[in-house]
Structure 1
Amino acid sequence: MEEEEEAAAKVPLPDAFLHFLEANGLDPSIYTAVDSTPRFIRLKPGCDACIKEVETQLKCKLQRLQWLPAFYSLPPHVQIAASRAYKEGKIYGIDAASGAAVMALNISSGDHVLDLCAAPGAKLCMILDLLGDSGSVTGVDVARHRLAACRTMLQKYMIGDRCRLFVADGTAFSVIPSRFRSECESCVSGLEGRVDVFKGWTSRRPWKERKRANKSGTAQLVSRFQPPELIYYGQQSGVVGLTKGELFQTLSDNEIANHGYDKVLVDAECTHDGSVKHIQKFEHWGWRTLQQRVLDAERTDDLHTLQLNLLTNGFRLLKVGGSLVYSTCSLTVAQNEDVVEQFLKENRTAGLTEIDAVRNWPGKGGRIPKTWRFDPSTSQTSGLFVAKFTKVVI
């Protein structure tokens, strides 16, 4: 007990943040764990024989995580960006808790998966790795520049063949999965000369279009009233061969129940207070910035509304029998359990379900049964809340 109090006393956090933690039942000593919490990498499928090579390049021993396939921990001070393995796309950095959120989806071969808040892209890459040569992934994000970074990752790791990316507001996005018309040669063979269908994706836009975009100063964030903008699609993503009208067709909620996504991930925007390294940055950014980004009551209320709307729309796009995982890297009740409870009250077809893999996970249960929490002190990862829903017929 004395050791815990001593650790808490050493935490260089302002009183306002300590009160915030106390109100949410959080131990401030978790923010002293930044130097002991390992960083994590995921090994790209097929690269198992490269472990020794990666260890040589990173100059450290990799520890395989027994509870999360293809994940390894390494000392927190090790930088991976300069290594050849990273540059060649054999490894990428992703926190183990985030990987657990993806695993909670129980992705199966042939699934059509929606990642509704896709940036910065590590979870998107993991989903594509798990699908392999089947199914499709649709990534959506409201920030154009962040989604462009996702596109760069897909090209770097050469895994974007079955992916499409839309710049759009996740609370209003309505594009359903394409059902692989492009896999049929007869659908693609007649494209030559037609201007009304999507052909092979290219990053090159006409000069006049680029000039107009530069002149108008295109906004980095889009509003819910702007139509989705398709900024990338792979050859097997189901886009090639479709007309614009077919791609953006509008379906009723009853039709979506039959033709929606098999799996949906809503890793919602939050205050990021569960990320110890993120909070530590405020020592340099200034604690006033922490007040504005984390503690401000109006911002927290706005985030609660946004999170609920993202979860609601993600669930609307889920087919009957499908699974949705909601996660945040916040440890607050307001952004997690409160959102889940309100969502369940407003959606009769939603059922909170057990996460199969949780019996092997570190961490602890949330305040609502069947939910799970990671944090540096109990799981040696960043903080993350995870809840899983299924859509049922009433």
Structure 2
Amino acid sequence: MGRRGRGSRTQRKHFKENRKNVWKGPKTDPSSDPNNPTGDNTTWKPFATQNPAFDEYYKEQGIVSPEDWDAFIEMLRKPLPAAFRINSSSQFCEDIRSILEKDFVRSLQAEAIEGGEPEALKPLPWYPDNLAWQSNFSRMQIRKNQTLGRFHEFLKLENEIGNITRQEAVSMVPPLFLDVHPDHLVLDMCAAPGSKTFQLLEIMHHSTKPQLLPGGMVIANDLDIQRCNLLIHQTKRMCTANLIVTNNEAQHFPGCCLYKKWSRGSEMANELEPSTRQLLFDRVLCDVPCSGDGTLRKAPDLWRRWNTGMGNGLHFLQVHIAMRGLSLLKVGGRMVYSTCSMNPVENEAVVAEILRKCGGSVELVDVSCELPQLVRRSGLRKWKVCDKGVWFASYKNVPRFRRSVVAPSMFPSGRSYVDTADNNQKCENGEGVHSENGTQPEEDPMTSIDDVEEEASDLPLEHCMRIVPHDQNTGAFFIAVLCKLSPLPGNCKPFRSTYLS
């Protein structure tokens, strides 16, 4: 029970601190500001869009090449364009697409030219059938600009009745790699606020013959009860019977056993006996809680709060959620692991760890040929771990007093090293860590010494994909597609079961 409680508090703290709408900050009395005793509102300043620790961290990790860095960081400081998706199962789908193509594309172009943008509104080239669109205006601009008023009202109305869904462009990518069919059982492990769940239901209904309901089901789960309410509000616009919403910790999602009644013969037709079988899923979407630095363009307050500990602190939870998702997946099924973070400790390190735990029972799928117009970058095979401003190239250099925080699974090789007396003495003296004075430094500045050969993973992590903002004017996202080839090894312990009839 104690371990479950700690996981719960960690996850709830994350939601409270990192999932809030920073554009709706608390309304404070200006006169209460010690730097503004006169109460003058003119002293308000926009969010600072820089963080030296962020720059240092991602330059060291090599997320983008040095030649790309300026374009990358410049794009991160710009507001995120508004994006939305047409509900493919709506009876008005063709009409809405026609209005966008023949009306708004032309009427908004004049405003775009005045603002220096080449295109005001365009379909996302990688999304099938021109069903996803992106405006080069941010959501704030659309709300405030009177010239864009008609377009804003159109988006609001169609969103309320479920004909479109406003959703960040990169957030639309993971469901497309799940390859969902109408008869599939799909688990969305961390579903709120519900945009991806709505998208999964769209795909399921769109692939079904007219006048028929899909034979499958989406189970959308989330830890936070308030976010579950938001999830229900989002998905009820779909008017579907193929959805169940649950409220569980994703890493402890219960195994479900189905009661299936059957008759043993005509002479005992009235006597039904139950048979149970475990409910396994054809598809699992594992969009885990993360540090969220891929959302800097829409949540600029994150620039101020970002630090390396955010990603390190969520690594264990992410591994546990992903492993639980794989244990609930059918053999032959597909799971997508995704985050809105660029941090390899939350991304490649998690994928590498679950591949090591699962042995040959899980395969990392190469999907580089799918959605060819989506610009993506291959996953990393080399990275380092930073803890309190100290860089570690290998777990063997982590001091003993930090090994409860920095784990072997965070490193490319995943190796844990048995301490010798000599190594223990070095750790106690502060040797072997990446610090210039041989002692554990404070939070800043970050320091690094190349006294240890950098590790590289022997797993095919290049099959993962990372979407970075300046490639297609989006946010950032990480996606890995996994296929379950055989049952997981016996050391993956089963969880409690819930019976459904």
TM-score by length of 2: 0.56
2:246 is paired with a residue of what secondary structure? strand
Q: What corresponds to 2:179 in structure 1?
A: 106
For 1:180 and 1:76, how far apart are their aligned partners in 2? Answer: 53
Change (3 A) 1:158 1:362: same
For 1:145 and 1:54, how far apart are their aligned partners in 2? Answer: 34
Change (3 A) 1:176 1:129: farther
For 2:471 and 2:62, how far apart are their aligned partners in 1? Answer: 15
- Runs (5+) with no aligned partner, structure 2: 1-47, 64-68, 109-119, 144-151, 206-212, 262-273, 381-460, 488-501
For 1:147 and 1:357, how far apart are their aligned partners in 2? Answer: 32
Is 1:387 aligned to residue 480 of structure 2? yes
For 1:92 and 1:305, how far apart are their aligned partners in 2? Answer: 32
1:339 is paired with a residue of what secondary structure? helix
Q: What letter is aligned with 2:466?
A: R
Deviates more, 1:161-170 or 1:351-360: 351-360
1:99 Cα deviation (Å)?
Answer: 1.3
Pick from 302, 309, 318 the counterpart of residue 320 of structure 2.
309
For 2:195 and 2:257, how far apart are their aligned partners in 1? Answer: 21
Q: What letter is aligned with 1:162?
A: N
Residues 57 and 83, structure 1, Cα contact 8 Å, conserved in 2: no
Q: What corresponds to 1:16 in structure 2?
A: 53
Q: What corresponds to 1:265 in structure 2?
A: 285
For 1:272 and 1:383, how far apart are their aligned partners in 2? Answer: 9
- Runs (5+) with no aligned partner, structure 1: 1-10, 182-245
Deviates more, 1:326-335 or 1:54-63: 54-63
Residues 144 and 167, structure 1, Cα contact 8 Å, conserved in 2: yes
1:83 Cα deviation (Å)?
Answer: 2.7
Per-residue deviation, residues 187-222 of structure 1 (Å, max 9, x unmatched): xxxxxxxxxxxxxxxxxxxxxxxxxxxxxxxxxxxx
Identical counterparts, % of pairs: 23
Q: What corresponds to 1:30 in structure 2?
A: 72
Larger Rg: 2
Q: What letter is aligned with 1:14?
A: N
1:344 Cα deviation (Å)?
Answer: 0.5
Pick from 124, 130, 134 the counterpart of residue 197 of structure 2.
124
TM-score by length of 1: 0.70
For 2:287 and 2:259, how far apart are their aligned partners in 1? Answer: 25
Change (3 A) 1:296 1:37: closer
Is 1:326 aligned to residue 304 of structure 2? no
Residues 41 and 91, structure 1, Cα contact 8 Å, conserved in 2: yes
1:18 Cα deviation (Å)?
Answer: 1.8
Is 1:369 aligned to residue 495 of structure 2? no
1:57 Cα deviation (Å)?
Answer: 7.8
Change (3 A) 1:274 1:376: same
Change (3 A) 1:341 1:279: same
Q: What corresponds to 1:242 in structure 2?
A: none
Q: What corresponds to 2:362 in structure 1?
A: 350
Mapping of 1:202-217 within 5 angstroms? none
Pick from 236, 258, 269 the counterpart of residue 155 of structure 1.
236
Q: What corresponds to 1:167 in structure 2?
A: 247
Pick from 134, 137, 140 the counterpart of residue 221 of structure 2.
140
Q: What letter is aligned with 1:16?
A: A
Pick from 63, 83, 105 the counterpart of residue 40 of structure 1.
83
1:83 is paired with a residue of what secondary structure? helix
Change (3 A) 1:136 1:177: farther
Q: What letter is aligned with 2:58?
A: L
Q: How many pairs were matched up?
A: 302
Pick from 117, 133, 137 the counterpart of residue 76 of structure 1.
137
Mapping of 1:48-67 within 5 angstroms? 48-53=94-99, 60=108, 62-67=121-126
Q: What corresponds to 1:275 in structure 2?
A: 295
Q: After the TM superposition, list the runs of 4 or more consecutive aligned residues in structure 1 that deviate by more than 6 angstroms.
A: 177-181
Deviates more, 1:24-33 or 1:325-334: 24-33
For 2:83 and 2:256, how far apart are their aligned partners in 1? Answer: 33
Change (3 A) 1:54 1:341: same
1:40 is paired with a residue of what secondary structure? strand
For 2:54 and 2:257, how far apart are their aligned partners in 1? Answer: 43
